[in-house]
Structure 1
Amino acid sequence: MAKLRVLHNDTCPICSREVAAYDRLARKSGLELEIDGLDAALGWGLDRDSAAQSFRVEQDGQRHEGLDAFRLLWARLPGWRWLAWLTGLPVLHWLADRAYRHLAAPALYALHRRRQRRGA
């Protein structure tokens, strides 16, 4: 099975906890993950700000973003495969994708920007 490479906003406490949980489960199940934070954004061809806006996964040179990135990861993790399957159903995929792109990702990015302003 090909290694997955994950790019996430490691300055986000919510994102970091979630990715750490995925990493622990991946290690237990023998899945190899390479986890990158915002400092690795340039290696993904992105600046830090763009990288902070969405979750990304790369497999076999193919990059996936948002819900599709989550689904790729979930499909390989025991206990999460059901969610990958469920969010692959056409109507649920459409709803979940829009919920991530228009609600979750912008809200998390807004929190990121607030943390950036406070730290500046």
Structure 2
Amino acid sequence: MKTVTVWYDNACPLCRREIAIMRRLDTRKRIDFVAIGGDGPDQCPIDRDTLLARFHARENGRMLSGAAAFAAMWRAIPLLRPLGLAARSPWVLGVLERAYRQFLTVRPRLQKWVGGPS
């Protein structure tokens, strides 16, 4: 049974690589990975640009973004579950969110380094 839905930027080489790793780690197949962008039709539950600006996931019917979305995905993956559970602490989630916001500032350069513009 799928417990988490994750939307990712299919046009982003960095995102595709990360999702490929998460798919391999999702040994229990609890995550529904939905590609946004690229050649296929989009299945966006919210505005497409908003969805692509930050990482989004839905866990137990609740839409999450940023570090909270990563934490939801991690909770569904046995190997990463302890980190996802730790992120339920407001303090830990706050630290992860600040790190995620910093990552967003370098994401365009990383995308080019990994495999082209997005």
Q: Please, what TM-score do these two structures have when normalized by structure 2?
A: 0.74
Write the distance in 2 (CA, Å) between the matches of 1:96 and 1:30.
Answer: 25
Which 5+ residue runs of structure 2 have no aligned equivalent? none
| Number of aligned residues | 112
Higher helix share: 1
| Amino acid in the other structure paired with 1:33 | D
Write the distance in 1 (CA, Å) between the matches of 2:111 and 2:51.
Answer: 11
Structure 1 position 94, deviation (Å): 1.3
Deviation string, structure 1 residues 55-75 (Cα, Å, up to 9, x no partner): 101234321101111111101
Partner in structure 2 of residue 58 of structure 1: 58
Contact 1:11 1:112 in 2 (8 A): no
Write the distance in 1 (CA, Å) between the matches of 2:92 and 2:60.
Answer: 26
Query: 1:1-120 residue pairs with structure 2 within 5 A?
Result: 1-26=1-26, 28-38=27-37, 40=42, 43-47=44-48, 49-101=49-101, 103-109=102-108, 115-116=117-118
Write the distance in 2 (CA, Å) between the matches of 1:40 and 1:110.
Answer: 25
Structure 1 position 111, deviation (Å): 5.8
Structure 1 position 2, deviation (Å): 4.4
| Identical-residue share of aligned pairs (%) | 23
Give the alignment's Cα RMSD to 1 decimal: 2.6
Q: Please, what TM-score do these two structures have when normalized by structure 1?
A: 0.73
After superposition, the Cα gap between the structure-2 partners of 1:65 and 1:31, relative to the gap in structure 1 and judged at 3 Å, is: same
Deviation string, structure 1 residues 30-74 (Cα, Å, up to 9, x no partner): 324132223526x32213x33321110123432110111111110
